[in-house]
């Protein structure tokens, strides 16, 4: 099945009818425990923190669409980040994208730095600059591409070469691109990370995280952490993301076409100072004229099709203000240095009619002219 094309894998990859009933969709196994015919004699499932058939179906699907062999599903994207960091020891060092998700930055600097891990931040567009940051304690290169919210892209293959040179793991957060546009394992990454809350789930109705790998030994370490730490997702959440994956390719096409239709409007509007778009996908960021909090707030609050809310990747269009929402935990001077200013707004372009999306932004921006 994994030899099939991506659109087919989203529907069939790693899946099979339920063996007990023939159900085409995996049932929601809403159970905590499983009967054993004798002590230690069971059908592969003992306790749902360790294994659950619905979560297992999701993990097979995730591995298939990312071109991996093993996947682990967690209770949130940050729980997946946490699991990766638990591979490390005090004194180990991580080189990370500088304009990354604020929650990841907070976990790095406010939690794990206190346990002895060291974090270094770089834009990562310059491979030589990243290479110069490597020390004999570098254990992980942490890449978001496109980055959140500046939408910079990073050369995964170049980072993979550096990781190979220093014996580090390359972790790529693929949340914004999704495997529809980018498959990091095929470019040399060791671990692919997702906030499946976003595009994989796709309907703003679930919180879930995931990791995908190819190396069986690395998978065993991560499965141990998943079970030992217990930050797993429930069967209903697993079902919702599995359901979302089946339409991922259809939705990503529409997210992208709507974003590209909106791009020209924003670039030409006199109330917009700058537009950021990576060339693919459904995310756009832009700076309002004046680059100030009051103007950005007025624009975001006046939108009617777009909803002012945290998160992204759902079928509905969302607008966020990173400086006060997703990146509020990053010190002002540091976030502004990478472009996350008070006048920056981030758009998660949904799958509504493009004319309605453009008209909504027009009625919000025109009063500034």
Cite the active site residues.
Answer: 49, 101, 173, 198
Distance from C-alpha of 288 to C-alpha of 332, rounded to nearest angstrom? 18
Give the H/E segment covering residue 96. Answer: strand 93-97
25, 61 in Cβ contact below 8 A?
no
Question: What is the radius of gyration, based on Cα positions, of the chain?
Answer: 21
Reduce the DSSP state of residue 139 to 3 states and report it. strand
Residue given tokens 């976990």 in the structure block: 107
Q: Which helix (H) or strand (E) segment is 273 a member of?
A: strand 272-276
| Selection from 74, 332, 331 nearest residue 226 by Cα | 74
Contacts (Cβ under 8 Å, ≥6 apart) of 196: 62, 73, 77, 206, 208, 209, 210, 241, 244
Nearest C-alpha neighbor of 254 from the set 202, 306, 311, 325: 202
How many angstroms separate the first and last alpha carbons of the chain? 55
Residue 298 dihedral angles phi and psi, to the nearest 5°: -65, -45
DSSP state of 33: B
Q: How far apart are CA 311 and CA 120, in angstroms?
A: 26
Which residues in 135-219 belong to E strands, given as ranges?
138-144, 169-173, 191-195, 209-213
């Amino acid at each position: 099945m994994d030899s099939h094309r991506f659109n087919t894998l989203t529907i069939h990859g790693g899946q099979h009818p339920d063996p007990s009933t023939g159900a085409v969709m995996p049932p929601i196994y809403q159970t905590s425990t499983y009967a054993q015919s004798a002590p230690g004699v069971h059908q592969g499932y003992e306790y749902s923190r360790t294994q659950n058939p619905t979560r297992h179906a999701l993990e097979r699907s995730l591995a298939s669409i990312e071109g991996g062999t093993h996947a682990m599903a967690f209770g949130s994207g940050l729980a997946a980040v946490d699991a990766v960091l638990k591979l490390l020891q005090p004194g180990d060092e991580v080189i990370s994208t500088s304009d990354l998700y604020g929650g990841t930055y907070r976990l790095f600097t406010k939690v794990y730095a206190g346990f002895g891990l060291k974090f270094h931040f770089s834009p990562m567009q310059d491979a030589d600059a990243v290479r110069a940051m490597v020390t004999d304690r570098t254990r992980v290169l942490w890449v978001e591409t496109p980055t959140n919210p500046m939408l910079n892209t990073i050369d995964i293959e170049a980072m993979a070469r550096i990781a190979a040179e220093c014996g580090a793991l390359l972790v790529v957060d693929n949340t914004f691109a999704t495997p529809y546009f980018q498959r990091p394992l095929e470019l040399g990454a060791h671990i692919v990370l997702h906030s499946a809350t976003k595009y994989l789930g796709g309907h703003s109705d679930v919180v879930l995280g995931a990791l995908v790998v190819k190396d069986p030994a690395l998978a065993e370490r991560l499965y141990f952490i998943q079970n030992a730490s217990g930050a797993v997702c429930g069967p209903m959440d697993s079902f919702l993301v599995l359901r979302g994956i089946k339409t991922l390719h259809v939705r990503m096409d529409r997210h992208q076409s709507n974003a590209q239709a909106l791009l020209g409007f924003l670039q030409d509007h006199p109330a917009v100072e700058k537009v950021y778009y990576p060339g693919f996908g459904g995310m756009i960021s832009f700076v309002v004229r004046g680059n100030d909090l009051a103007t950005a707030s007025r624009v975001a609050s006046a939108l009617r099709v777009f909803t002012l809310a945290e998160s992204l990747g759902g079928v509905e269009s969302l607008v966020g203000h990173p400086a006060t929402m997703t990146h509020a935990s990053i010190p002002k001077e540091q976030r502004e240095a990478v472009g996350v200013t008070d006048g920056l707004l981030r758009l998660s372009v949904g799958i509504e009619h493009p004319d309605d999306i453009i008209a909504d932004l027009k009625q919000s921006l025109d009063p500034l002219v």
